[in-house]
Structure 1
């Protein structure tokens, strides 16, 4: 086979990229996500450095307990990220169904540019504090609560139905690819230029999405009339989500796994205090899970639909929890990298199955609201998990927090597999959109 025919074969296996609008949005999001992953890595390290070596003493049942300030500080980052998601995600889904999704996305990206720019400015002028970091992290999370439902609901309009599964896979691959480049690049910029330059790069990266959205030929109107905006419309989205066992069970699986296996927030402590790494080593360790994701995502993208997706989904979450526990047990940099890569690979395969299933089972007029409910689970889980990991790590140590979280994830996955046989039995590459719940 010639190199040209090989190239054509790969191109034919990526049908979503045949659509110009999807390519534009994919590239813009790739650039922006690199910036966001750089900032995520930098903020965690920044808080770790600002609180390193401090302890808090509390009285509990007449006993004094010393808690590590850095673990609590990193855990609190999860709390400040999740509160805006809980408060605004459902409203974001409602707007995504009743407003022009493309226009809404443009405004959210502009707002993200402003807030990230303020973070960079405060750091450049040496006026940054941990409370300021928490506040601006919360504002960016609030913007994301309005952005995510519109972005995910827009994708089905940029590709054909036949190419949609490939689009979900490529979106996952885009995120994981950016999650490799972002932390690695963030660690280098952090070490040689300073955290303020990471924040500035992230602020500028949002403009790539604004440009790609401006160039889209798609100008679709709202899915439903804005007159339907209200509590009744919100209940309609909640009712549909909770009365569809396949969607509800995957959301529960997503939440529980990411709640108990949120090892990523403890990476600065693992890298700095356990493995003896600096900012560059920390950046590469942060890129381990995304590297595993890219490998798994590439295989899924090129070789199409899997068989017995329900079993594969459950098996991947079990692997995710087991790899997390093994990561907590090791003191080897190489093994830590391997186990984190395994969490990324297993999470990517399960993400593709979950994302395809939910979008294709949901009618267009409910996609924004379904996505907003899902946001509370798939974004709320890891952020609340960061708080849980921080509290457990502060009291019992980082290794215990990671190991116990991985074990609990495995046990809860087995429980969900037993409770929802419809999930175990799922095996359908194409699912017809459902009708709206009444």
Structure 2
């Protein structure tokens, strides 16, 4: 296999509309990670309370879960381009208000969290709309490659954004970080502004609860898409490791903060490398088997991380887990966006986002409870093994997913 075919498949960059969207998405993702760090810093600086710091995550996650499904039904009744543009303006306005409160000062912490929650609500409405862009703009055989390009840009910004936020916070302060995020939405708006109208293809969603239930019925009846989301839940609820990192670092590596920081970096690095080398995976056209193998690798790597006492071996296992996670997410998103009818894609994408938000939080809770009863290492090992068993069950119960068949 040639090197060019091993690297990221860049054929989608031949589409001007996709290139503009990718640039806008990349810049706004960078701004989003800067704001995430800035909010955490500001809330801690205002309160010096771990409880208030924890409320930041709640303010970001709850709207994604609460708004997500109803927003998906709305998106499947409207022009997705208009929805995305409107929600982008809403997010930019929230960032401007965050900048204004930072420059003026003396606002209650509740106001900051409220603005974060409102911005997350706009994001929850815009994400299902954005979920239809790639399959509508690219040929079907390039959809996975387009999603991989989105993924690698997002992971790169996840590495760059927090570091850049630290520099800006140190030199210019909180307000400038929020202001840069607001400006980043301008490029996101520009990227989508030139798109054609993108109404649903096929029957529009019924209004209200009926539309939501139609989407849930599709998920219940489509075995491949249902199996993909079940596999994601198995990986996140049973084996999400981040909440255990401080405890494992204390148990195994003496609590050195430098080691703790490397845990997250190793996961991110593995994800970036895997996505950069995703050409063979996206060209293969069999996302189901890839997702099952990658999810099983995620569980096995985290179980081995829980067993190791070597820092370097542990970092290697985390890098492998990060690579597996990137491959699993890419494959799952490809399944959702290529197996779902366009008229239902907003609702199914919203359900995927809800699973992506709820799973890691439930996984953090599970890991914390098991670690409290036993140890951090035990929580990691048992979670990894349970993940392996759950993925194996999904694979056995869903042969269409395991074999890469096109059926329901």
TM-score, normalised to structure 1, is 0.77
Matched with 2:74 is 95
Does the CA-based 8 Å contact 2:300-2:388 persist in structure 1?
yes
Q: Which of residues 128, 132, 157 in structure 2 aligns to 1:178?
A: 157
Task: Summarize the alignment of residues 248-327 of structure 1 with structure 2, pairs less than 5 Å apart.
Answer: 248-264=226-242, 274-277=255-258, 282=261, 286-301=264-279, 304-306=282-284, 309-327=287-305
Take 2:279 and 2:220, find their aligned partners in 1: how far apart are those partners?
30
1:140 Cα offset (Å): 2.6
Take 1:303 and 1:357, find their aligned partners in 2: how far apart are those partners?
13
1:38 Cα offset (Å): 2.6
For the residue of structure 2 that corresponds to 1:234, the secondary structure is: helix
**1:141 and 2:147 correspond:** no
Q: More helix by proportion, 1 or 2?
A: 2
Q: Do the aligned partners of residues 37 and 341 (structure 1) sit closer, same or farther apart at CA in structure 2, a change above 3 Å counting?
A: farther
**1:342 and 2:323 correspond:** no
Does the CA-based 8 Å contact 1:265-1:386 persist in structure 2?
yes
Take 2:54 and 2:244, find their aligned partners in 1: how far apart are those partners?
8
Count how many residue pairs are aligned between Structure 1 and Structure 2: 404
Take 1:109 and 1:259, find their aligned partners in 2: how far apart are those partners?
31
Take 1:254 and 1:142, find their aligned partners in 2: how far apart are those partners?
23
Take 2:96 and 2:307, find their aligned partners in 1: how far apart are those partners?
39
Q: Which runs of 5+ in 1 are unaligned?
A: 55-69
Matched with 1:39 is 35
Does the CA-based 8 Å contact 1:181-1:287 persist in structure 2?
no
Does the CA-based 8 Å contact 2:99-2:179 persist in structure 1?
yes
Does the CA-based 8 Å contact 1:14-1:302 persist in structure 2?
no
Q: Do the aligned partners of residues 351 and 310 (structure 1) sit closer, same or farther apart at CA in structure 2, a change above 3 Å counting?
A: same
Does the CA-based 8 Å contact 1:257-1:321 persist in structure 2?
yes
Take 2:263 and 2:362, find their aligned partners in 1: how far apart are those partners?
22
Does the CA-based 8 Å contact 2:8-2:279 persist in structure 1?
no
1:248 Cα offset (Å): 0.6
**1:219 and 2:197 correspond:** yes
Q: Comparing 188-197 with 155-164, which one deviates more in the overlay?
A: 188-197
Matched with 1:198 is 177
1:412 Cα offset (Å): 2.7
Matched with 2:358 is 380
Q: Deviations over 1:42-85 (max 9, x none)?
A: 44566667776x7xxxxxxxxxxxxxxx3x66655444333222
TM-score, normalised to structure 2, is 0.82
Q: Deviations over 1:95-149 (max 9, x none)?
A: 2211111111111111111223333443444446654454333323222221111
Does the CA-based 8 Å contact 1:42-1:190 persist in structure 2?
yes
Q: Comparing 115-124 with 246-255, which one deviates more in the overlay?
A: 115-124
For the residue of structure 2 that corresponds to 1:274, the secondary structure is: coil
Q: Do the aligned partners of residues 111 and 325 (structure 1) sit closer, same or farther apart at CA in structure 2, a change above 3 Å counting?
A: farther
Take 2:43 and 2:299, find their aligned partners in 1: how far apart are those partners?
27
Task: Summarize the alignment of residues 151-162 of structure 1 with structure 2, pairs less than 5 Å apart.
Answer: 151-162=130-141
Take 1:327 and 1:366, find their aligned partners in 2: how far apart are those partners?
40
1:255 Cα offset (Å): 2.0
Take 1:44 and 1:352, find their aligned partners in 2: how far apart are those partners?
28
Task: Summarize the alignment of residues 417-428 of structure 1 with structure 2, pairs less than 5 Å apart.
Answer: 417-426=395-404
Q: Do the aligned partners of residues 328 and 74 (structure 1) sit closer, same or farther apart at CA in structure 2, a change above 3 Å counting?
A: farther
1:247 Cα offset (Å): 0.6
Q: Which runs of 5+ in 2 are unaligned?
A: none
1:264 Cα offset (Å): 3.9
Take 1:404 and 1:128, find their aligned partners in 2: how far apart are those partners?
45
Take 2:383 and 2:282, find their aligned partners in 1: how far apart are those partners?
32
Q: Which of residues 14, 19, 22 in structure 1 aligns to 2:15?
A: 19
Take 2:41 and 2:249, find their aligned partners in 1: how far apart are those partners?
10
For the residue of structure 2 that corresponds to 1:221, the secondary structure is: coil
Take 1:147 and 1:271, find their aligned partners in 2: how far apart are those partners?
38
Take 1:236 and 1:104, find their aligned partners in 2: how far apart are those partners?
21
Does the CA-based 8 Å contact 1:275-1:331 persist in structure 2?
no
Calculate the aligned-residue CA RMSD, in Å: 3.8
Take 1:301 and 1:366, find their aligned partners in 2: how far apart are those partners?
28
